[in-house]
Amino acid sequence: MKKVSILGTGSYIPKRVLTNNDLQNFIETNDEWITTRTGIKERHIVENENTSDLAYHAALRAIEAAKINKDEIDMVIVATFSGDNAFPAVANVLQSRLGLREVMAFDINAACSGFVYALNVAEKALRNSKMNKALVIGAEVISKYVDWEDRNTCVLFGDGAGAVILGEGLGDIIDNNCYSRGDVNRYLHGSGTPLKSPENNVGNTVGNIEMNGREVFKFATRAVPSSVNIILEENNLTVDDISLFVFHQANLRIIEKATKDLNIPMEKLFVNIEKYGNTSAASVAIALDEAVRSGRVKRGDKIISVAFGAGFTWGAILIEY
Ligand code: ACO
């Protein structure tokens, strides 16, 4: 069977930093509250860039790391809920801007689980077709959706992008799973453009993120151990066989609770939430790139990544790097 390996990774973070102390200038909050509840110290926010700009730079870095020619890329998937436009997709913008051939390019939206969903889709597409290489990106400009007067949500999020090139190589995507539960979507919601009709042609604003933090916390701390246990059991592996766990960086307390429940030693955990906050679909992609570039992951290592997000959606992926 064709192997689907991670050939290269890249990420791009916008320059402007917004620290917890900066947030105190416009909402009633403080560094101590944010740090103890979430582990976040700062996040990066765009100034003039949009989602496709962040995705573009992350993609260039992944292409460079993979040492491939752009012409070898057969498909582009961008995971995002914050694309530049309703359409065209960010992936279409990139296909042209990166100078790729006229390849299949589309976005998917599974909120914070988007990148893990996209890897799942790309892996199956490459394994079962003539296509050989895929560019898979998680990219978000969440700052445009955030209500900057709502301290319950605005402190949690940041902007960024991460990318991988998948193709035949030394490693493999061994297994993955993806789930969703739409019946509880009221607990984490970003309303879009309101429905309009000729009779009622009003309202054209992008809605804000609304969240029931406690319900999200309960869901996430169940979803992460459950999807990790399923992937371990189905592959006859234990935590000891895994070199690194790269979880969605939503909240340090969620990561710590899941890690404790799964008996994962802290040294097997990759955490960078303190620098970026929750970058939704970009979070696992950025973390993966930093894990690779900092030498935390070596060829042959097994990695498990788990994402969870609005939908609710969640899923895990087992990678031999
Ligand atoms: N600064 C100061 N005070 C705040 C802030 C803030 N930024 N935000 C809320 N508060 C206040 C609330 O108004 C409330 O005050 P009140 O009691 O007077 O009404 C109080 O803090 C709530 O405190 P806690 O109950 O201790 O808050 P909790 O421990 O539940 O923490 C949090 C809130 C961090 C949101 C938690 O519920 C959580 O981690 N939820 C998970 C949500 C998450 O991580 N979402 C990420 C995005 S979703 C995703 O990626 C899937």
Question: CB under 6 Å to ligand 1: residues?
Answer: 29, 33-34, 37-38, 112, 151-152, 155-156, 188, 211, 213-214, 216-217, 220, 250-251, 253-254, 278, 308-309
pLDDT tens track for 193-228: 655 556 555 555 667 788 898 999 999 999 999 999
Give me the active site residues, please.
Answer: 112, 248, 278
pLDDT at 210: 86
pLDDT at 186: 87
Contact by Cβ (8 Å): 126, 166: yes
Nearest Cα residue to 289 out of 132, 141, 161: 161
pLDDT tens track for 129-160: 999 999 999 999 999 888 888 899 999 999 99
CA-CA-CA-CA torsion for 275, 48, 286, 12, nearest 10 degrees? -110
Backbone CA torsion sign across 206, 180, 155, 292 = negative
Q: Which two structure tokens, joined as six digits, stand for 130?
A: 């003539």
Between the two ends of the chain, the Cα-to-Cα distance in Å is 17
Residue 52 pLDDT > 90: yes
Mutation probe of ligand 1 site: the residue of 113, 152, 211, 212 with most atoms within 8 A of C-beta: 152
Average pLDDT, the chain: 94
Residue type, 101: R
Contact by Cβ (8 Å): 245, 296: no
pLDDT tens track for 306-319: 999 999 999 999 99
The label of the residue with tokens 């895994």 reads 242
CA-CA-CA-CA torsion for 171, 174, 177, 178, nearest 10 degrees? 20
**All domains of the chain, ordered by start, with CATH?**
5-171 (3.40.47.10), 175-320 (3.40.47.10)
